[in-house]
Structure 1
Amino acid sequence: MAKFVVVDLETTGHSPKKGDKIIEIGMVTIEDGVITDQYKSFIHPEQPIPSFISQLTGIQDKDVQGAPLFDEIVDDVMSRLEGAYFVAHHVEFDLGFLNYAIQEVTGKQLTMPVLDTVELARILMPQAPGYKLGQLAEYFKVSHKDPHRALADAFVTGEILLKLLHKAKGLPYETLSHLLQLEGKLKSDVSELLQGVVNEKAFSVHDDSEMDLYRGIAVRKQEDPNENNDEPQEGFAPFLEHTFKENGYLHKYMERYEDREGQREMATTIYDAFQSHSHALIEAETGTGKSLGYLIPSLYEAVMTGERIVVSTHTTQLQSQLIEKELPFLQKSMPFSFKAALLKGKQHYLSLKKFEHELFSPTADNYDVVLTKAMILVWLTETTTGDRDEIQLPSSGQIFWRKVSAEAENVDPKSSWYRLSFYQRAKKRAQKANIIVTNHSLLCTDIIRSNGLISSYKKIIVDEAHHLEASAAKHFGLRLDYITIQYLINEMGGNQKGDWMYNMLSSYPELSMRLDLSKWDQYMQNIREEADELFRYIFSYVIQKHNAEISLNDVGRFQYRYQKEQEDPSAWRTIEEMTHRVSFYLRDAIQFLHHCKQYITMAETSNEAMRWTEDISMYMERLETIIDGLRILLIEDQANLVKWIELEAYGAKNAVFLYSEPIEIASMLAEHFFNKKESVILTSATLTMKDSFSFMLKRLGLSKEETIQYKIPSPFKYEEQVQLLIPNDFPSVKYGDQESFIHATCEAIYSLATVTEGRMLVLFTSYDMLKKTYYVMKELMEQEEFMLIAQGISSGSRTRLKKNFQAFDRSILFGTSSFWEGVDIPGEDLTSLVIVRLPFQPPDHPVYEAKSQALKESGKNAFMELSLPNAVLRFKQGFGRLIRSSSDRGIVLVCDDRIMKAKYGKYFLDSIPDLPVHFESTTTLMKKAQDWL
């Protein structure tokens, strides 16, 4: 059995070349699967330890005073490593740092096999939620009591290593054999270890009853869903009574069950809407428990009638919650059995057929692609869905995924691939399910294409329904940019070994003799150059039109709405000519592909031929889509479309994004969705303004008379749980004095954070203001008094930022756009919410501008009909972040006094629950906050 030495270092920084030093080393020796030795030592770095390192590790200057220098322990360290694998979590860092220090002292370097537990975990645990040491410790249920201390981290890394090696031993022979083929490109020297396991398996009988083996790839066996056989034995009213009463169906399986009146009301309203074939708008405020409120009547109706019901959500987070938590709970507690299925777009599912081809193709893969192939091989032995959301692909792995996704999969129902197609299985599960859970994106694709991706349905629940209009507009609209065109050209490739086009023509030597490949290369070059020139020209045109100061949106882009009749005629003629040239060369490429397809179809009918023709069809379709997009976006003039250009203001000169959306979506939704369905139930916590649904009815194209409207108030006692504070002494940002407003905001945030000990979420309407506020706060605070975590400044996704916020005691989280909703921070982790400005959309946003113009032209007030309702709904979303349970308490500080002073301010206050409102000086408010808390 091999010997492993797990090493972890704590250092003064990341770069030994810049003079950073080791301050602590921890080493754990593992032999025969058991920890046989441990070693730790402080090391004097001969320099002060930076304060942020002391904060992270707890190691102070006094701890290393009197500790040995590295040259005093180097021999001991090297002797322990002799004859062992060097193991570390991020091996490049620890080994690199250690080697630098050893070289300085001895002139030598360590040369030994290495194992990186990050890499091994990615490959062997592809479904882990993250690969930081703490995340893996939590995933493996390994106790990690002293993070960021060398010996504790080495111990945890050692425990994780043993679990990973155990996992490797359990993998099928075929999977291990493929991993061995990929091993050469990995950081970890796993070939001997894997070869040992492969040799053992080659001569032993192993149980493969859980695996399907096809063309040398091991895939977890799938169970076919059975038909349902039982249904509710009682009418809806008694069923509902039995569901919600004490010791009823729900109570039996739920800890701390609360009977929520709102849930009953919601369930009854939905059931009534189903029976009367009506549409309904139901606002269910925070705390209603709306997921169960709509699932219970939907399940009853679906099982009783034998018709499937669709549930659509906007976020994948809610989708996962329904599939992983709510529906399994109901499967246990309901008095009848039912089936639920999750359905996503084709691009979410792996195509085994395409993956097999890529696995064996002789291309020169980069590290990320090799890592992705290895992850997918192991994941195939675990997954029952083939859904890419289950695994965390590395960055270039996303590009590889496009090659192997089911997006262009066209499988013959008679072939073995059909039986193994994840997408076909997902469709089959959906066809046999009572409830199909999907997302707004797939729902809108389904509405537009009318091709029944989601099996036919008459009744649907649309949760997070305030997003439906924007999702539909996006799907009825278009988006095109240079990068998409460039990516497609690179993906098809040319006369280079390993390129798709080269490989295809190599498979048919006679075809490559008939067709001149240099012509294809010329087409690709022409498209690349002409598209580059077109997008550069658009960039310079927009910049010249707007040579004034460019105002950037939340993602650092500048937006310009263009209307053909108002553009410079000669410049626009040039844009149209250039567009025609790009389209001309795209057509040449399509023609070339058409000849290839014709030849292959006539030459043979093998699986291989079918795979090539599928690929060709997919690429022809994508090229056609670009031609159509260019025509609609730059040539045609359509009255109901708003078109705009976004520039990466500080990016490449061809970083130009073209967009179009319908100005008005209501009539399209009415025609293609509401008029075709028996019952559409739209629900959300934010559908009304001042208790009226009229804004939402208009936006979505629903008839007031024919739509049930129902509002369910929150069960929370806001008057006891929340105080709303509005300062009356802030400088007005209205007159352009943004700097003074930001300083006043920072002082208020700082004062309130001192009262609440951090635990604060600050919501902004502009990324620019967020950034400025963040840096002023940094200056205002005493060193690291509060942990500031800011979207776009601190690295990580929204979920990661939220977790970091919860991990620190005194922290403040700055967020914009996506943080106004869907962020749940219950309990004491969040005590105060700051809303910096009322969330009005910038008046120059292209879509808002076009909608306003259309409203004004029809004699309506754009502010009252569009701007105000949108801002109120957004405000309600933001307000809803604070109180997530009946035991939460907190303070909301709104820095924008328009909520009290402007005529329209009452619309905001009247749209949130009744609660104490204080409009006084900042000093008085802080005193009140302290007394109340």
Structure 2
Amino acid sequence: MTKFAVVDLETTGQNPTKGDQIIEVGIVVVADGIVKQQYGTYVKPNQEIPLFISHLTGITDDQVTTAPSFSEIAPDIIELCSDAYFVAHHVQFDLGFLNEALMDAGFSPINEKVIDTVEFARIMAPRATGYKLSQLAEYFGIQHQRPHRALSDAYVTAEVLLKLLDKARKLPEETLEKLLNLEAKLNSDFYTLFRKWVENKRYVLEEENHHIEVYRGLALKKQKKPGREEHEWNPSFGEFLDEVFDSDGKLKEAMDQYESRPGQKEMAEMLFDSFQREKHALIEAETGTGKTLAYLLPSLFMALQNDERVVISTYTTHLQAQLLEQEIPLLEKIIPVSFDALIVKGKSHYLSLKKFEQELEKSPWDDNYDVILTKALLLVWITETDTGDVDELHLPSSGQIFWRRISAEAERTLDPKSPWFSRTYYQRIRRRAQKAHLIITNHALLCTDIVHDYEFLPEYQYAVIDEGHHLERTASRHFGMHVDYVSIQYLLNELEEILEDSDSIQLITESKEHADYLFRYFFDLVQQQRKQTSYNDIGRIQSLFQRTELKEDTFNYLKDLASRFVFSLKDILVKLDKQKQVSHEAYNDEEKEDEVKRKMEQIETLIMNLNLFLYDDETSMVKWIEIEAKGARNAVYLYCEPIDVGSLLKEKFYEEKTSVVLTSATLTIKNSFNYILERNGLNRNDVVTKKFPSPFSYKEQVQLLIPNDLPQINKDKEEDFLSAISYNIYELAKITNGRMLVLFTSYQMLKKTHELLKGFFDQDDFMIISQGISSGSRSRLQKNFQSFDKAILLGTSSFWEGIDIPGEDLSSVVIVRLPFEPPNHPVYSARAEALKEEGENPFMKLALPNAVIRFKQGFGRLIRSSKDRGIVFVCDGRLMKAKYGKYFIESIPQASFLYNDAQTLLDHAREWFS
């Protein structure tokens, strides 16, 4: 019988060596797959419990006054944990803390085998949404009654452990064998358990695992063969829409809480008509229109009835997943015939089984912990994934670097003779895509496909571009180029593994030094031009690069540094070419030859991009440098983009395709589509346009409040302005109980406001979550924001859109400044200069339309359903005082708005919410 003692502690702090103490112990003993015993007690510490800990756990000084001391309960703990695996969620913390307490009390430390359920879950549940105890409980459908209480947490940890043990026990023998090879470098003691299960599988006849195939020693999930089924289904599109949208139609049948959306059916008809008439279209569908279903229905109908493939492109991979997980299953309920909708991403998203096999053959002792953990979780993941897509996973930090070595991007085009060809995930997706009705991709891959003459996506003539206001910006990046120091160092480090002779290693070392000198000089150039620089949304400093503006001796020195680096790269190319010949002639080593060819291509691209950046004086391109404000002196990024991407999109996309529909909630400015038409190179006479207003009642649901007495940032000090808005954020947060999103145009302003707000709030008042300061991705910060009762979320540009916080989780949006790009932003300044030369007004043609679209996005964060209500508080008086303010107000849905002093507005807000 294997015994597990699952332990959780509540403590006064994180560090027992600095006097922090245990205030509660929970232990759950598990054996034979069931809970055998539970033990829980308060513990009396020799200090007061900090307010934060009481707030988190609910444990107060009064509750522990009469509790036993740790010395009194220590024998019970030792007995419960003896001859058992010591299990905890973050086992090093609980075991370390407990052993410090035991030794302080004169007892021997616990020295049993350990299992960390965080590590165990990362391996056995690689597709979990997260690895906090609450997230795992939700993932496994376990009720968590009292989070942050020792016995409750221990009990939930025990239930999670049982789920993980059950899954591990059922893994294929081949997977367990490979996990055993990695076990020594994991934190948990899995060896005895895994070895026992392997032996059982060898000598006990188990039921055959029909969904698994074993190939070259790897256990993989079997894949269904792609293929379209024949179908008989021939209604007209009008009949089909009537069946779907009638008051007792299929949509109402399929949805639990169906709401009729005005405009949804009309939008679907318009989109289908554009396809039929072979016209491009721009459709603005404001929040609540139901645009996703409105474009999916005609797209799928077109694909099924006309045997045409339709491409759906979204801006983010997150929205791709949402389409596949939420909207496509709904369509499957509505449409009576089978269809295939498929997400297609770039090669870097997919696992290369060939590369993974090669990495598994290497000694685990050469890898760090994160890489070992990544290998382990991938072994489990390939027994359950259909896609091989890394977006299903949460890789540890070094694991993300390791992924670059094992993604499909790391291999050149796989030879059809390769043993892995028929099973590789990327090729499988490509084969499925050839037969799919709907291809769901993102703007990045769509633009990569356009730039590379359509070699990545299967042939198509019809496309819907969701969040179409982003297409031109994404295309601009892909028609340009990007070089950065970190990627160069990564490439040179990889070369060290291929070129192993001492001469080559010396050459690579010299190349690294030349890169270092070159990129440090780029860094110094930006520092010297600080008056002409701007900050991007993640705090990098940006500076326009114009060769003709540099002093002659400055450019000559830069050219000299670049030449030395490029010559060293060319010397490496010569070495690689020799290595390729040797691999081919002496060893017939296709693997090595293939790897060398790929590295040669990467070096050639790098040389070409550096030459383009430094020497190409093409006036149609804008070049700029970015540096990390507080980063290393070689943390430098070089960019180059076309000034006018519209003409390129027209030639290479719109003129190539039969019908492209751009849709978004933000395509118009004062009800005009002219700006988006121009940015996309489209002619007004050749495009169908239509705006579908939101069905929500903004006058009843939204109060737009604009204070008239805040300091003017252009006349007063920025500090005065930030102090005033911080005070108003604090006062408004008290009225709305937090639940506030604050949108900035400047990362520097965000940081300063974060510091000011901390001075206003008591520790237990509000949780302040700030982009770039609080750790985590945008989605992680959003989840953290929604998990607290009283929280304020501060964000910059990426938070102006794509954040969807429905219902009572969000009650107010504060817009600190109208979202104009800084006039010295490199791309803006280059485009503005081009417009001036054409006799146009850059402010009216470029700056204002950009700002209005971004403002509409920020405003749209607040109301996501007909039941939402709240306040938009705009701290920028230009909205009312400037002549152009009407462009902003007339471009958003008509809300009730009030322009008055801040105190009057706060009083109004208090009354409105009450």
TM norm structure 1: 0.96
Q: 1:485 aligns with which of 474, 478, 488?
A: 488
Deviation at 1:733, TM superposition (A): 1.1
Residue in 1 aligned with 2:385? 383
SS at match of 1:624: helix
Alignment of structure 1 residues 371-410 onto 2, 5 Å: 371-407=373-409, 408-410=411-413
Q: 2:553 aligns with which of 556, 566, 570?
A: 570
Query: Within 2, Cα distance between the matches of 1:338 and 1:5?
Result: 50
Query: Within 2, Cα distance between the matches of 1:525 and 1:736?
Result: 52
Query: Within 2, Cα distance between the matches of 1:17 and 1:639?
Result: 64
1:155-201: per-residue Cα shift (whole Å, max 9, x none)? Answer: 10011001100001110010001001110000000000001100000
Query: Within 2, Cα distance between the matches of 1:36 and 1:891?
Result: 53
Deviation at 1:550, TM superposition (A): 7.1
Contact 2:27 2:40 in 1 (8 A): yes
Structure 1 range deviating more: 751-760 or 163-172: 751-760
Residue in 1 aligned with 2:528? 544
Contact 2:526 2:533 in 1 (8 A): no
Query: Within 2, Cα distance between the matches of 1:239 and 1:142?
Result: 42
Residue in 2 aligned with 1:510? none
Matched letter for residue 539 of structure 1? F
Task: Name stretches of at least 5 consecutive residues in structure 1 with no aligned partner.
Answer: 494-498, 503-516
Structure 1 range deviating more: 633-642 or 570-579: 633-642
Q: What root-mean-square deviation, in Å, do the aligned CA atoms of Structure 1 and Structure 2 show? A: 1.5
Query: Within 1, Cα distance between the matches of 2:370 and 2:466?
Result: 37
Query: Within 2, Cα distance between the matches of 1:828 and 1:491?
Result: 50
Deviation at 1:600, TM superposition (A): 2.1
Query: Within 1, Cα distance between the matches of 2:373 and 2:146?
Result: 31
Deviation at 1:21, TM superposition (A): 1.6
Query: Within 1, Cα distance between the matches of 2:306 and 2:244?
Result: 19
Q: 2:425 aligns with which of 407, 422, 426?
A: 422
Contact 1:231 1:337 in 2 (8 A): no
Query: Within 1, Cα distance between the matches of 2:34 and 2:397?
Result: 36
Q: 2:639 aligns with which of 650, 659, 678?
A: 659
Q: 1:553 aligns with which of 528, 536, 539?
A: 536
Structure 1 range deviating more: 425-434 or 537-546: 537-546
Query: Within 2, Cα distance between the matches of 1:17 and 1:634?
Result: 56
Deviation at 1:785, TM superposition (A): 1.7
1:453-507: per-residue Cα shift (whole Å, max 9, x none)? Answer: 10000010000111111111111111112111111111222xxxxx4444xxxxx
Distance 1:918 1:103, change over 3 A: same
Contact 1:351 1:409 in 2 (8 A): no
Residue in 1 aligned with 2:476? 473
Identity in percent: 53
1:621-658: per-residue Cα shift (whole Å, max 9, x none)? Answer: 11112111211112322211111111112221111111
Residue in 2 aligned with 1:512? none
Q: 2:565 aligns with which of 582, 585, 592?
A: 582
Residue in 1 aligned with 2:317? 316
Deviation at 1:561, TM superposition (A): 0.7
Deviation at 1:107, TM superposition (A): 6.3
SS at match of 2:714: helix
Query: Within 2, Cα distance between the matches of 1:239 and 1:190?
Result: 57
Alignment of structure 1 residues 736-747 onto 2, 5 Å: 736-747=716-727
Residue in 2 aligned with 1:797? 777
1:702-751: per-residue Cα shift (whole Å, max 9, x none)? Answer: 01100111100001111111111111111111214212212221222222
Contact 1:11 1:23 in 2 (8 A): yes
Deviation at 1:452, TM superposition (A): 2.4
Residue in 2 aligned with 1:368? 370
1:651-698: per-residue Cα shift (whole Å, max 9, x none)? Answer: 211111111111110111111101100101000000000000000001
Distance 1:450 1:540, change over 3 A: same
Deviation at 1:526, TM superposition (A): 1.1
SS at match of 2:422: helix
SS at match of 2:420: helix
Alignment of structure 1 residues 142-161 onto 2, 5 Å: 142-161=142-161
Matched letter for residue 168 of structure 2? A
Residue in 2 aligned with 1:106? 106
Query: Within 1, Cα distance between the matches of 2:276 and 2:189?
Result: 64
Matched letter for residue 513 of structure 2? E
Query: Within 1, Cα distance between the matches of 2:456 and 2:654?
Result: 18
Matched letter for residue 403 of structure 2? W
Query: Within 1, Cα distance between the matches of 2:8 and 2:527?
Result: 52
Deviation at 1:576, TM superposition (A): 0.8
Residue in 2 aligned with 1:706? 686
Query: Within 2, Cα distance between the matches of 1:932 and 1:105?
Result: 59
Alignment of structure 1 residues 593-604 onto 2, 5 Å: 593-603=576-586
Query: Within 2, Cα distance between the matches of 1:867 and 1:387?
Result: 38
1:280 aligns with 2:291: no
Residue in 2 aligned with 1:514? none
Structure 1 range deviating more: 97-106 or 714-723: 97-106
Deviation at 1:130, TM superposition (A): 0.4
Contact 1:232 1:300 in 2 (8 A): no
Alignment of structure 1 residues 322-341 onto 2, 5 Å: 322-341=323-342
Residue in 2 aligned with 1:171? 171
Task: Name stretches of at least 5 consecutive residues in structure 2 with no aligned partner.
Answer: none
Structure 1 range deviating more: 283-292 or 621-630: 621-630
Q: May I ask how many residue pairs the two structures share in their alignment?
A: 910
Residue in 1 aligned with 2:888? 908
Matched letter for residue 525 of structure 1? T
Contact 1:410 1:614 in 2 (8 A): no
Deviation at 1:115, TM superposition (A): 0.3
Deviation at 1:326, TM superposition (A): 0.5
Deviation at 1:814, TM superposition (A): 1.4
TM norm structure 2: 0.98
Query: Within 2, Cα distance between the matches of 1:577 and 1:45?
Result: 67
Alignment of structure 1 residues 674-823 onto 2, 5 Å: 674-823=654-803
Residue in 1 aligned with 2:294? 293
Residue in 2 aligned with 1:511? none
Contact 1:855 1:862 in 2 (8 A): yes
1:534 aligns with 2:518: yes
Residue in 2 aligned with 1:617? 597
Deviation at 1:909, TM superposition (A): 0.3
Q: 2:822 aligns with which of 829, 839, 842?
A: 842
Contact 2:533 2:825 in 1 (8 A): no
Contact 2:534 2:824 in 1 (8 A): no
Structure 1 range deviating more: 845-854 or 362-371: 362-371
